[in-house]
Amino acid sequence: MTPETDRPPMAGSCPPAAAKGGLSLALATADAALYRAWQSAHAPPGFRLETVPDLRPEHLASGEHFLVLVGVELALAAEGALAEALRLYSARCVWTGSAEGLDRLGPARFEEAYDILVTPVSPATLSQRLAGWARNIQRTAALESVGQRAEALAQQNSLLGARAAEADARAQDLERQRQRLDQALRRIHQVAHLSREINSLNLDEIVSACIERLPALVEAKRASLYLYDAAGDRLMLQGHSRETSVADRVDLQDNPRSPMAVAVRTGEPLLIREFQEFEQASDVTIERDFKDHYATTSCIIVPLKGGGRVRGVLNLADKQDGACFDEEIDLPVVEQIAELIGASIYNVELYQEMERRAKTDPLTGLANRRGVEEALARETDRSRRYGSHLSVMMLDVDQLKDVNDKVGHPAGDAILTNLAAVLLETVRSVDAPGRWAGDEFLLVLPDTLAGQAEQLARRLQARVRERPAVLGECRLPTSVSIGVAEYRKDESLESLIGRVDQAMYAAKHGGRDRIAVAETPA
The yes-or-no verdict on residue 19 having pLDDT over 60 is no
Residue 507 in this model has a pLDDT that exceeds 70: yes
Please state, in angstroms and rounded to a whole number, the distance separating the CA atoms of residues 419 and 397.
9
Q: Is 62 helix (H, G, I), strand (E, B) or coil?
A: coil
pLDDT above 60 (res 10): no
pLDDT value of position 326: 84
- The answer to which of 53-57, 356-360, 503-507, 514-518 has the lowest mean pLDDT is 356-360
The contacts found for 358-362 with CB under 8 angstroms, 24 or more apart, are: 358/99, 358/100, 358/103, 361/434, 361/435
Which range in 81-85, 439-443, 509-513 is most confidently predicted, on average pLDDT?
439-443
**Beta strands 115-118 and 93-97, pairing class:** parallel
Is the alpha carbon torsion for 53, 58, 62, 68 positive or negative?
Answer: positive
Amino acid at 177: Q
Cα–Cα distance for residue pair 489/474, rounded to 1 Å: 47
Per-residue pLDDT at 266 exceeds 50: yes
Average pLDDT of the segment spanning 21-27: 76
Mean pLDDT of 259-267: 89
Q: How many other β-carbons are positioned within 10 Å of the β-carbon of residue 83?
A: 14
Q: What is the pLDDT of residue 289?
A: 58
Residues in the chain: 522
Q: Would you say residue 337 has pLDDT above 80? A: yes
Check whether 11 has a pLDDT greater than 60: no
Lowest mean pLDDT segment, chosen from 49-53, 69-73, 215-219: 215-219
Statement: residue 333 has pLDDT above 70: yes
Lowest model confidence (mean pLDDT) among 19-33, 254-268, 433-447, 497-511 = 19-33
- 30 pLDDT band (50/70/90 cuts)? confident
pLDDT for 473-498, tens place per residue? Answer: 899 999 999 999 999 988 999 999 99
Catalogue all structural domains in the chain, each as residue range(s) with its CATH number. Answer: 23-121 (3.40.50.2300), 134-353 (3.30.450.40), 369-517 (3.30.70.270)
Cβ 95 vs Cβ 116: under 8 Å: yes
Q: How far apart are CA 516 and CA 510, in angstroms?
A: 9
The Cα 359–Cα 352 span in angstroms is 11
* Distance of alpha carbon 512 from alpha carbon 481, whole angstroms: 5
What pLDDT sits at residue 14? 31
* pLDDT, position 324: 86
Confidence band for 9, pLDDT divided at 50, 70 and 90: very low
Mean pLDDT of 300-311: 91
* pLDDT value of residue 1: 39
Tell whether the model's pLDDT for residue 240 goes beyond 50. Answer: yes
User: For the chain, how far is it from start to end, CA to CA, in angstroms?
Assistant: 72
The per-residue pLDDT for range 102-150, each reduced to its tens digit, is 888 888 888 888 889 999 999 999 999 898 888 888 887 777 777 777 7
Which of 119-123, 153-157, 441-445 has the highest mean predicted lDDT (pLDDT)? 441-445
Render pLDDT for 273-284 as a digit per residue (tens, 0 to 9).
777 777 766 666
Q: Tell me the three-class secondary structure of 414-452, residue by residue.
A: HHHHHHHHHHHHHCCCCCEEEEEECCEEEEEEECCCHHH
Across 77-100, average pLDDT: 91
pLDDT at 238 over 50: yes
Is pLDDT of 363 > 90? yes
pLDDT level of residue 366 (50, 70, 90 thresholds): very high
**0.85 cut: is pTM over it?**
no
| pLDDT for res 236 | 92
pLDDT of residue 457: 96
Residue 353 has pLDDT above 50, yes or no: yes
Sequence-ordered list of residues with C-beta below 8 angstroms from that of 435, at least 6 positions apart, any chain = 361, 363, 364, 366, 367, 368, 369, 372, 416, 420, 441
- The whole-angstrom separation of Cα 465 and Cα 3 is 61
Task: Kindly report the number of other CB atoms within 10 A of residue 422's CB atom.
Answer: 19
* Burial classification of residue 404, based on how many CB atoms lie within 10 Å of its CB (0-12 exposed, 13-18 middle, 19 or more buried): middle
Phi first, then psi: what are they for 320, rounded to 5°? -60, -35
Percent of the chain at pLDDT > 90 equals 41
Edge-to-edge strand list for the sheet holding 67-71 = 47-51, 23-28, 67-71, 93-97, 115-118
Cβ atoms of 246 and 237 within 8 Å: the answer is: yes
pLDDT bin (cut points 50, 70, 90) of residue 421 is very high
Question: Any residues with CB less than 8 A from the CB of 174 and at least 6 apart, and which?
Answer: 157, 160, 161, 164
CA atoms in the 13 A half-sphere facing the CB of 116: 32
Does residue 448 register a pLDDT over 90? yes
Q: How confident is the model at residue 425 (pLDDT cuts 50, 70, 90)?
A: very high
